[in-house]
Structure 1
Amino acid sequence: MIIKVCGMRDEENIRQLEQLDIDWIGFIFYPDSPRFAGKRVKYLPAKIKKIGVFVDQNPQVIRERAADNQLYAIQLHGSEPPWYCINLRLEGYKLIKSFGIDKDGHLPNAQLNAYEGKCDYYLFDTKTELHGGSGEKFNWSSLENYKGETPFILSGGISPEDADAIKSIQHPKFAGIDINSRFEHQPGIKNIEAIKNFIDKLR
């Protein structure tokens, strides 16, 4: 299971997180986010794969941030069309496309079908005007209705109390989780002890 911690920006906080057993770290390059990491992250951990989060931004900006921050993958959180994903993948980037799911858990199947084969992962997040970080869950039981071939990452309101529920997910395309706001002291500053305890339960 991939464990991704998103919304990091503070150097000391990143150094503390680097000591834990996580796979991916997410940096938000969308300027309107309260977790905006700036153009260049001050400290880049060597052993954790770095993911850049973007919202309807110019591809040239994405290329620059990817080069400056040693990004492993691009995560798109806006209304980027399928061809946008195809072009970035052709340039060699791993591609994660986020989809907002309403709280009842209705999957946007027509959208998902349109992006099939054009992304490396989908990210299922709770629908919000804030492009993520709402701290709210959608109905996870709806995941059993996902019939696509693209592996998915679960996001949206995951909390320290959710380890057992996550371990019970048996979907063959379930690839991992993305945690953020429910593990924070304040936007962009994570509770390292809470993350450590959560990972110990998951692993």
Structure 2
Amino acid sequence: MTKVKICGVRDVETMRLCASLAVDWVGFVFHPASPRYVLPEQARLLHESVSDVLAPSRVGLFVKADDRTIERTLQTVPLNVLQIYDSVERAKEIRSRFGLPVWLARGVKSFSDLPIQADVDGYVIEAPKQAGDDRPGGLGRTFDWTLTRKWKAPAFWMLAGGLTPFNVQEALNASSAPAVDVSSGVERQAGEKSHKLIEQFVEKARIRG
């Protein structure tokens, strides 16, 4: 069954919904430029709003963050995975420094952009950042999913970028991704999740067409 990550969770009701749907991961965005930004203290309250037994794994998203920023966050809220937007070298430093699994986001325009060696624990494969973007993800932009078909992934990976309840089955059939990551595609407006869309997305993602 396809695994699902709901990224950009900001309120208790959505956190509890994700737990009730047995979502695999929830993402907390610690990047101030994002409309889904949360403070570590807010993320802690979300974490504490569901029992440990039901809680999805917690992924912290950081964009070019320094060690102190990550350290302060981890002192406030326990995270299971660090999702990093930075260089491969920096991602490896963070993995060594904090001893947590690291997923590195990779923008893909062509087949040559796909990673060929396991420098980190996992990859978030999405559309590349474009000129004028104020943040690297959460922009609702897709890429050619079929690029991943013949790719021999060196590590765990998930498909992200522009996914919605209405295209996730097509994306899975085109890419054969083992997991999917959604943010803007399940929102009423930027930063405000729709529970109906989350439910639809999870249902569709878990059905292979």
- TM-score, normalising length from structure 2? 0.83
Match of 1:43 among 46, 49, 58: 46
Q: What is the aligned counterpart of 2:160 among 155, 158, 172?
A: 155
How far has the Cα of 1:168 moved from its partner?
Answer: 2.1
For the 8 Å contact 1:13–1:189, the answer to whether it is kept is no
Please name the residue that 1:143 is paired with: 148
List 4+ stretches of structure 1 deviating above 4 A: none
Counterpart in the other structure of 1:202:
205
Unaligned runs of 5+ in 1: none
CA distance in 1, matches of 2:108, 2:180: 15
Looking at structure 2, the residues matched to 35 and 198 of structure 1 have their Cα atoms a distance apart, in angstroms, of 19
User: Does residue 1:95 correspond to 2:102, yes or no?
Assistant: yes
Q: 2:92 matched to which residue of 1? A: 86
Q: Secondary structure at the match of 2:167?
A: helix
Measure how far apart 1:68 and its partner are: 1.6
Q: Indicate the percent of aligned positions where both proteins have the same amino acid.
A: 25
Instruction: List per-residue Cα deviations over 1:103-145 (Å, max 9, x = no partner).
Output: xx44414xx24xx332111111111222101111101011124
Alignment coverage as a number of residue pairs: 193
Compute the RMSD of aligned alpha carbons.
2.0
Stretches of structure 2 lacking an aligned partner (at least 5 in a row): none
The answer to whether the Cα contact below 8 Å between 2:146 and 2:175 also exists between their aligned partners in 1 is no
- Counterparts of 2:46 and 2:152, CA distance in 1: 39
Residue 178 of structure 1: aligned partner: 181
CA deviation after TM superposition for structure 1 residue 39, in Å? 2.6
The reply on whether 1:13 has 2:18 as its aligned counterpart is no
CA distance in 2, matches of 1:60, 1:145: 39
1:10–1:188: 8 Å Cα contact kept in structure 2? no
Output one character per residue of 1:168-191: Cα deviation in whole Å (capped at 9) or x when no partner. 2564xx331100101101222211
Name the CA distance, whole Å, in 2 between partners of 1:14 and 1:170.
Answer: 28
What is the TM-score when the length of structure 1 is the normalising length?
A: 0.85
> How far apart, CA to CA, are the structure 2 residues paired with 1:28 and 1:166?
24
Of 55, 66, 82, which residue of structure 2 is paired with 1:58?
Answer: 66
Residue identity opposite 1:50 in structure 2 = R
| Counterparts of 2:36 and 2:123, CA distance in 1 | 21
Partner-residue secondary structure (3-state), 1:43? helix
Mapped to 2, the partners of 1:34 and 1:124 lie a distance apart of: 21
